[in-house]
Structure 1
């Protein structure tokens, strides 16, 4: 049997509310422009033909409660509060009616974005990787099982910066619903347990600076919190 040349870190584990076990993260998918008001504030229109995505490495994950370094290479890092779906079964080429059977649970997440690098990539029609996929760029709160959370409806989603509410919306405002997202994404990927889907952010995104304390909340879920420290 071939031996590895070196060891790599184990998959990160997201805490589960009321459970001693952790949820191992395999991949992170993110939905772009899934709230019309956010698309408008960024000078874009929602593509109503189909959702679109970008990805983050599992090792971009950061757990709630951490103090993280201000990201390297940027002078304009933004917060984006999101409802996160955790997959619990395989889903490939599934219908919207079948999609929710593959969901394990939900959590609060914050997508950090190096907005200046993302903007530069957009201007040159290049991928967004430098703007989106970097250390501590996918912050996660503890997960809650699907049955305990209940149906996705008009639950409030909000993010506060140093106690001031910056983002405030309802899950019902998503352009693409969770079943629609899973069914569409499963046309292109074999979704499986360990896959997280960040479902998009509402209006109110904005810059963070060292010293900021972020707190994201969604009705029925444990909050996600992070402190922005000095530069990396």
Structure 2
């Protein structure tokens, strides 16, 4: 992570994402920004650790847009869920994209502890400045019946969420506990790290409020 100071107080802000959840999160800061789809390959490489995958994809998303908008501050983020299997190996989970896979993911998570790695990258191409970080959230899931899982998925249809739940909604019903320094990360964008990154560019959200 490069955290050397750069004055980008007047730079345009772009969120390299079309995620409605990340957009809603960034909107809570009441700062002006645009959203642009990064259109990158989000596949993991062989034996890639979850932390490395989340950070790499975040950087790739931000880079894809920063090349087109070199003066802007471009924010990229990605999330990977990781479950440790009984044999000591780990399995990675992203968006389910179907009801069947969402139900399958939650069945795997039932009664287990799942770690969510949320990557963040902020890039300004013109100054070659990069801020990157990975925030970690640990979730202990309640023991859930098949009926409860099927009912939950039918109600919230969390098919575009890593882990197949919406913790800001009824998904909180699925949890026994959450350990995190920033609960925002579980939704998809680590806001505390985002503010830290913006400040490293000389961009203070307190002085860029929408009118």
Q: Is the structural similarity TM-score above 0.5? A: no
| TM-score (normalizing by structure 2) | 0.31
Structure with greater proportional helix content: 2
Greater RCO, 1 or 2 (C-alpha within 8 Å, sep 6+): 1
| TM-score (normalizing by structure 1) | 0.29
